[in-house]
A and B are shown apart, each in its own frame.
Chain A
Amino acid sequence: MVNTVEKKPSVKKYQLVNVEHWSLEARRLALVKGIILRANDDVESLALILNQAPLIAVDFSNFDDGRSYSQVKLLRKAVGYKGEIKALNVHIDHLQFIFRSGIDSYELLPEYQKYHSDYAMDFSICYQAAENNIGLVEQHKNQESSIYE
Chain B
Amino acid sequence: MYQYNDNDTQFLKQRVGQFSKQVNRYLERELNDDQFRSLRLRNGLYEELHAYMLRVAIPYGTLNAKQLQQLAYIADKYDKGYAHLTTRQNIQFNWIQLTQMGEILADLAKVNLHAIQTSGKVVRNITADPLSGIRVDEIADARPYCELIRQWFTLHPEFSWLPGKFKIAINGAKFDEIGLEFHDLGLQLNVNDKNQLGFSVYVGGGLGAAPMLAVKIKQFVAEQDVLSYLESVLRVYNLKGQRDNAKRLRIKFLVKKLGGEKFAELVEEDWLLSRNDSALKLNLPQLNAIKKDFELPIKPVKNTATENKVDFNFSIWKNNNVIANKVSGYSIVTISLTKLGSTPGNVAAEELRQLAKLAEYYSLGEIRTTKKQDLILPFVKNDDVFKLWYALKIYDLNSPHNNTFAHIVACPGADYCSLAKAVSISVAQRIQQRFHENNLLFEIDGLNLHISGCENSCAHHHVADIGLLGLNKGRQSYYQITLGGSTKYKTVLGKKIGRAISVYKIVDAVEDIVNVYLENKAQGENFSQVLKRIGIQIFKERVYG
- A contact residues vs B (CB 8 Å cutoff): 1-2, 63-67, 69-71, 73-74, 77-78, 91, 93-94, 96-101, 111, 119, 122-131, 137, 139-142, 144-145, 147-149
Contacts and interface: CB of A to CB of B under 8 A. Distances in A.
B7 A147 contact: no
A2 B152 contact: no
A93 B235 CA distance: 21
B160 interface: yes
A100 B157 contact: yes
B432 to A, nearest CB: 41
A125 B14 contact: yes
Nearest to A120: B18
A78 B156 CA distance: 20
B10 A66 contact: no
Contacts of B38: 63-64
Contact of A148 (B11, B14, B154, B284): B284
A98 B153 CA distance: 16
Contact of B7 (A111, A125, A142): A125
Contacts of B227: 128
Contacts of A94: 161
Contacts of B158: 66, 69-70, 73, 97, 101, 130
Nearest to A131: B157
Interface stretch (B273-281, B422-430, B446-454): B273-281
Contacts of A131: 157
Interface string B1-41: 00000011011001101100110000000101011001100
A2 B151 contact: no
B156 A128 contact: yes
B155 A123 contact: yes
B235 A73 contact: yes
A122 B278 contact: no
Contacts of A98: 157
A144 B284 CA distance: 12
Contact of B285 (A91, A137, A145): A145
B159 A66 contact: yes
B243 interface: yes
A126 B238 CA distance: 21
18 contacts: A2-B34, A63-B38, A66-B158, A66-B238, A67-B243, A69-B160, A71-B239, A119-B21, A123-B14, A123-B15, A127-B11, A128-B154, A128-B227, A139-B11, A140-B286, A141-B286, A147-B283, A149-B278
Contacts of B285: 142, 144-145, 148
Interface in B246-285: 273-274, 278-285
B472 interface: no
Q: Which of A65, A128, A131 has the most CB of B within 10 A?
A: A128
Contacts of A93: 22, 35, 39
Q: Contact residue range for chain B?
A: 35 or more
A131 B121 CA distance: 22
Given A140-B283, A148-B282, A124 B14 contact: yes
Contact of A69 (B121, B238, B280): B238
Contacts of B160: 66, 69, 97
Contacts of A96: 155, 157
B39 to A, nearest CB: 6
A59 to B, nearest CB: 13
Contacts of B34: 1-2, 63
B289 A142 contact: yes
**Which DSSP category, helix, strand, loop or mixed, fits chain A's interface?**
loop
B224 interface: yes
B7 A129 contact: no
A139 B161 contact: no
Contacts of B157: 69, 96-101, 128, 130-131
Contacts, number: 125
A66 B161 contact: yes
Contacts of B280: 129
Nearest to B121: A64
Contacts of A147: 278-279, 281, 283
B361 to A, nearest CB: 34
Interface string B215-230: 0000000001001000
> Which 5 pairs show the lowest CB-CB distances between chains A and B?
A66-B161, A129-B279, A100-B157, A122-B18, A142-B285
A148 B281 contact: yes
A51 B444 CA distance: 68
A67 B227 CA distance: 20
B162 interface: yes
Contact of A141 (B121, B283, B289): B283
Nearest to A100: B157
Nearest to B122: A66
B155 A148 contact: no
Contacts of B151: 127-128, 139-140
Which one of A71, A73, A123, A124 has the greatest number of beta carbons of chain B within 10 Å? A73
Contacts of B32: 2
B39 A127 contact: no
Nearest to A112: B30
Contacts of A124: 10, 14
Contact of A77 (B39, B273, B282): B273
A131 B278 CA distance: 13
A78 B278 CA distance: 16
Contacts of A142: 283, 285-286, 289
Given A128-B152, A148-B281, A66 B286 contact: no
Contacts of A130: 156-158
B37 to A, nearest CB: 9
A123 B12 CA distance: 9
